[in-house]
Structures are given as structure tokens and as C-alpha cells.
Amino acid sequence: MTFTKQSPWQKTLSYAALIILTIVVLGPFLIGLWTSFLPTMDIAKGNFFSTALSFNNYISAFTKTPILRYLGNSLLISTVTMFAQLFFCSMAAYAFVFLKFKFRNLLFGLFLVTMMLPFEAEIIPNFQTVKSLGLLNGYGVMIIPFLTSAFGVFMLRQSFKQMPAELKEAADIEGLNHFQFYGKIVLPYNRISLLTLAAYSFLGSWNEYLWPMLTTFSNNFRPIQNGLRQLQSEETFNDWGMIQASAAIVVIPTLIVLFVGQHYFKSGMNEGAVK
Amino acid sequence: MLKNVVEPEPGSLDVTPTTPKAKSRTKVFALNAKDKYYALLFLGPSVLLLALFVFYPMIKTLYISLFLTSGLGKTTVFTGLGNYVRLLTSADYLNSLGVTLIYVFAVTILTIALGLLLAHLASETLPGIGIFRTLFSATMGVSVSVAAIFWLFIFNPSTGFLSLLSNWLHLPVINWLTQPNTAMVAVVITTVWMNLGFTFLILLGAIQSVPTSLYEAASVAGAKPGYQFFHITIPMISPTLFFVSIITLIGSFKSFGLIDLITKGGPTNATNMLVYRIYKDAFYSGNFAQASAESIILTVIIALFTLLQFKILERRVNY
């Protein structure tokens, strides 16, 4: 941000820079979107500016591949994970802020330590655990390890701690018990932070890649990230038109949600995670 | 606390504790006891889950890393730090560590530099700037596999966009993904592109929260826009800059999806980074002991950077 008044010449320069950068950022989207309308034959021949545009690639993506099933699987897994994290993280954060019990600080310290431990470094024992629990190749295996998150607890605790103390005092006078105070006051008061955690946990689950790849082997349960990998590695590998159409089918709804939800997400980000 | 109530202090004249005092004390105690049960209920599920899927596996990984393992993952011979010594003296592992560091620092520096450029330009108050702000954040909605498809097509040697471009311009076609150096460049570009949307949004938020009075004062004093950027904007947003850098750094150390989708660690291990290695060593080669030691090394690296992040977070909270 600069405060100096801009001359028309400077304004033109600013717009030129903005437009060039937009093309650079959006380039891969646009190239992908364009090829998704081209016949694979034309793509293979390097005929990039073919005029034989059609929705054929989209039709074959929908009819010949289980892409809708993959999307449905991901939607289910991410939604359940999101609600579970909202519930368990807010409960845990409530305990850390409003309950007094032995070893509270020690326990919170352990939660902080948890945030330092990367899930990627724990896949070997975790794989053995879910295998011995008989969870392999199902929805459960992609949800259960992520029902709660130390980061979520940490973020909500920060937010709960900033609530005015009078609210708790008033609740005590009113005779609200902990469940009532949690449900009627704390959750509604912190809705922006909860929304941020919702977006964060949904996206986190949606983008999960390594864990589903290790634990899920059938299209019935495979989420979209691994589904797209599957499409690429199967015989369709050279069918670039259809692959690009699949990518577009996945990315377009996400972009719409992102653009619509951005306002909320941004204000929440600044409020919760970063502050 | 209770003990004090029952046993009066030696030398105290008042031998029997006063009734109201004792009552109030028991009440406080009772409330705390109740809190304890609530805490069990509120915290129990999270504690159990984290114990099962975070603490137990970490201890187990540490334990396995001190042994040799059979192909079935059973521990056989105790070797102490043997696995670590073997790893840190193997050229292969040091290569992985090296390429990971190159990747992590290239990704972080480029992500921050480009994110800052986008955020700075988009913070100008121009008509229609909102559209650019929205478009610049677009890559936030892109997942690993979608990004990999977009860029695999761009880098594809026979039908890809870059080879088409090279043909039109009569330049030599580069086989991006089959040469060590260009494969690394390809993976870095893809990662930076993916990171850009998020980084842009966070930095834009930071730049917008710098008080405009600072810029007003500077321009009254005759400071040029470039000077304002480096002497007002950068210092004012430095906590956010550090924060985003560390988030990016940690994320890059954990990179797996893009590697698996774009290069599979190749060519000749040029992009065989830490997490990809763990996966290969454990689930392809069945060398669980070595993979566990690699996991512990990764954990130490990430824990150190996370600690640094907490320090910054703490400072920011106290702002």
C-alpha cells in the first residue's frame, strides 16, 4: 500500500502488472480448462488451437470413470471429519479454559507437543494399528485418526480465552451448568473461530493424500485425490482431454466455494490462527 | 487444603475451625471435584485419540528405530543408534536430505517473494481491485492431484504446453521430468504455485492492517513508494512474514503428494525427499527400522521449526 496519489500513467502501469500476474497465476487453470474441451487426438498432435471444442471429455469422465463416486466419498469423509473436529476440539478447548483440574497445564503442554509431531512420521505404527483394528479399506480409516486435532484445540482455546469474564460470571449467577454454558454461550460467541476451524479441517481432510493411499484400495471408498491419481495411472493416461476434464470437475466447485466463502475465511484466519 | 481444616495450626489459640470457613472450603473442594469429572468428559475423547494416533505411534517409531526389523516389521536385534549412524553416513540418505533442503528453501523463498509481490500490488486502492484479490487467491482451492494434472500437462515432453511453446518459438524442447535439475525445478514451480493463494491472502491481510497514517506521514516527508515499501510495509508486517515463512517451510518438509504424482522421487533420486523416502523404505522395501529412524529425524527437524513458530505466535499474541 502506498499513499502517494497515482498519476494516470502510474495507474496504467499498476493495471498492467496486475493483469500480467493474473495471467501467470491463472495460466495453469486456463490451459487445463482449454484442453478439457479439446479432442484427445488434437492434443496428441499438438493441435492446441483446434476449434473442435466439445463437452465430450466431460461426458466420458462422468460416464466412464467413477469420478462422482470419488467426489461423494471425499464429501462424506471431509464433512464427518469437519463436524467431529468442531465437536471434540471445542469440548477440549472448553475444558482447558473453563474447568479447573489437576495437571491442566501439563496436559495442555502435551497437546502443544502433539502439534510438533508430523503425522507423516507416524504412518508405520498407525498403519499397523488400523490394520489390527480391521479398519483398512473403508471410510472409518480416513476419519477416525482425524476426529480431533491438537491445532484445533489450540486455536479454539486462544479464542475462548478472549471471551469477557463477565459472561462466565453471569452464567454462574444464572445457574447454567457447564453443558449449558458451552452450548448456549461459548459456541455461538466463538462462531467465527469455529467457522475457521470448519474450513481448515474440511480442506485438510479433502487434501489428505498419503494416508488414504496407504489404507484404501477400492474405488468404493477412494477419495478424490487418490481417485485422480488412479485415473492417471490407469489406461486413460494418454487421454489428456478426459484427465483435464476430471481435474476441472474437481476444481470448479472448490473455486466457487472459495470465492463465495472467502470473506468469512479471511476474517476468521486473521482472528483465530494468526493473531 | 483439607488437612489444614482438620488440623489447626500449632500454636494457634483457636483450636476448633470456625464452621463457615470449613464449609466454604469444602464447597470449593467439591466444585473442583466436579470439574474433574467434567474435564474427563470434555477432554477424554481428544486425549484418547491423540494418545492412540499421535503419542503411541511416536514412541513406537522411536522404539523400532533402535532395532533391526524383519521383513514382517518384527523387531529382531537391538542396535541402539546403529540405524541413525548408518543413515547419516549413507550418501543416499544425505542426498535425500540435501535435495529436501534445496526444495524447502527454494519453495519458501519463492513463495514469500511472489506472495509479497501479489499482496503489495493488490493492496493498492484502484477501481476493480477486488477482482484481482479474488483471482490471486484462486490456487488456494487447488488440491495436490489437480495441481499435478495441470502441471504434468504443461511439462509433458511430447504433447505438453511448454514443448508446444518451444516448438512455436523454435527453441529446443526440454524434457523437464527426466533430468535431475529440471525435475527439481518443475516440482518447485508446482509447489510454489499451489502455495501462492494462501500466502497472498495472509500477506494482503497484514499489509492492509498497517495504519495508513504511517504512509501519509512518509509521503508528506517526500518518501518514494519504493522507500515506503521497504521501510514501512516490510518492517510492519515482519511478524506475519516470519509466520508464513515457517508454515511454508514446515509444509514443504512434509511434501509427499506432488512428489508421488509428478516425479516419484526420480530421476535418479533427484527429488527423493524425506517423506517419500519413508514411504518407499517402509512400504516398498519393508525396511521398517530404517524408515522409523528416518521418521524420527524428520520429526526432530519439524519439531524445531514448530518451536520457532510458537515463539513467533507468542510474540504476536502479546502484541
In this structure, which amino acid lies at residue A12? Answer: T
- The confidence score (pLDDT) of residue A269 equals 52
Instruction: Please tell me the class of the B82-317 domain.
Output: mainly alpha
Q: How do beta strands B67-69 and B75-78 pair?
A: antiparallel
Please state, in angstroms and rounded to a whole number, the distance separating the CA atoms of residues B174 and B169. 13
In the predicted structure, residue A42 carries a pLDDT above the cut 70 = yes
pLDDT band at B169 (very low <50, low <70, confident <90, very high): confident
- The confidence score (pLDDT) of residue A168 equals 86
Please state, in angstroms and rounded to a whole number, the distance separating the CA atoms of residues A259 and B196. 15
- The confidence score (pLDDT) of residue B268 equals 86
Interface contact B38, partner A, CB < 8 A: yes
DSSP B255-316: --HHHHHHTTT-STTTT--HHHHHHHHHHTS--HHHHHHHHHHHHHHHHHHHHHHHHHHHHH
In the predicted structure, residue A274 carries a pLDDT above the cut 60 = no
What residue spans define the domains of chain A? Answer: 8-59, 65-274
In this structure, which amino acid lies at residue A113? Answer: V
Phi first, then psi: give them for residue A164, nearest 5 degrees: -60, 140
C-alpha cell at A31: 490451459
- The confidence score (pLDDT) of residue B91 equals 92
Please state, in angstroms and rounded to a whole number, the distance separating the CA atoms of residues B247 and B295. 19
CA distances from A178 to A95, A168, A183 (A): 10, 10, 8
B255-273 in b/e form (b: 16+ CB < 10 A) is bbbbbbbbbebebebbbbb
Preferred mutation among A65, A70, A73, A99 to probe B, highest tally of B CBs within 10 A: A99
- The confidence score (pLDDT) of residue B278 equals 95
For B216-272, write each residue's pLDDT tens digit.
888 888 888 888 888 888 888 888 888 899 889 999 999 999 999 999 887 888 899
In the predicted structure, residue B1 carries a pLDDT above the cut 50 = no
- Is A88's CB within 8 Å of B39's CB? no
Average pLDDT, chain A: 87
In the predicted structure, residue A275 carries a pLDDT above the cut 70 = no
C-alpha cell at B124: 493498492
Please state, in angstroms and rounded to a whole number, the distance separating the CA atoms of residues A226 and A219. 9
In the predicted structure, residue B4 carries a pLDDT above the cut 50 = no
For B95-152, write each residue's pLDDT tens digit.
999 999 999 999 999 999 999 999 999 988 888 888 898 899 889 889 999 999 999 9
pLDDT > 70: what percent of chain A? Answer: 92
pLDDT band at A33 (very low <50, low <70, confident <90, very high): very high
- The confidence score (pLDDT) of residue A5 equals 59
In the predicted structure, residue A84 carries a pLDDT above the cut 50 = yes
pLDDT band at B26 (very low <50, low <70, confident <90, very high): very low
Please state, in angstroms and rounded to a whole number, the distance separating the CA atoms of residues B240 and B214. 18
Please state, in angstroms and rounded to a whole number, the distance separating the CA atoms of residues B298 and B300. 5
pLDDT > 90: what percent of chain A? Answer: 51
Mention every residue, 6+ apart, whose C-beta is less than 8 A from residue B101.
none
In the predicted structure, residue B9 carries a pLDDT above the cut 60 = no
For B180-208, write each residue's pLDDT tens digit.
889 999 999 999 999 999 999 999 988 98
pLDDT band at A91 (very low <50, low <70, confident <90, very high): very high
For A111-134, write each residue's pLDDT tens digit.
988 888 899 999 999 999 999 999
C-alpha cell at A227: 481417485
Please state, in angstroms and rounded to a whole number, the distance separating the CA atoms of residues B196 and B140. 7
The residue among B302 and B126 whose pLDDT is bigger is: B302
* Range with lowest mean pLDDT among A28-37, A191-200, A233-242: A233-242
- Is A101's CB within 8 Å of B50's CB? no
Please state, in angstroms and rounded to a whole number, the distance separating the CA atoms of residues A258 and A201. 14
pLDDT > 70: what percent of chain B? Answer: 87
* Sole residue written with cell 452450548: A183
Q: Residues 134-163, chain A: which have Cβ within 8 Å of B?
A: 144-145, 147-148, 150, 153, 158
In this structure, which amino acid lies at residue A219? Answer: N
Please state, in angstroms and rounded to a whole number, the distance separating the CA atoms of residues A225 and A73. 11
For A162-176, write each residue's pLDDT tens digit.
888 888 888 888 888
Please state, in angstroms and rounded to a whole number, the distance separating the CA atoms of residues B137 and A22. 10
Q: What is the mean pLDDT of residues A180-204?
A: 90
- Is B142's CB within 8 Å of A254's CB? yes
Domain with CATH 1.10.3720.10 in chain B: 82-317
- The confidence score (pLDDT) of residue A167 equals 87
Chain A residues with beta carbon closer than 8 angstroms to that of B224: 4
CA distances from B92 to A115, A239, A245, B255, B274 (A): 30, 36, 39, 19, 11
**C-alpha A223: how far from chain center:** 13
H or E element: which one contains B69?
Answer: strand B67-69
Question: CATH number of the domain at A65-274, please?
Answer: 1.10.3720.10
- The confidence score (pLDDT) of residue B16 equals 41
Å between A229 CA and nearest CA of chain B:
7
Preferred mutation among A43, A116, A182, A207 to probe B, highest tally of B CBs within 10 A: A116
Residue (of B109, B254, B263) closest to B180 by Cα position: B263
The residue among A71 and A44 whose pLDDT is bigger is: A71
- The confidence score (pLDDT) of residue A226 equals 93
In the predicted structure, residue A78 carries a pLDDT above the cut 50 = yes
C-alpha cell at A194: 469455529
Please state, in angstroms and rounded to a whole number, the distance separating the CA atoms of residues B248 and B202. 12
Average pLDDT, chain B: 84
Q: How buried is B4 (Cβ within 10 angstroms: 0-12 exposed, 13-18 middle, 19+ buried)?
A: exposed
* Facing B159 at nearest CB: one of A148, A240, A275: A240
In the predicted structure, residue A265 carries a pLDDT above the cut 70 = no
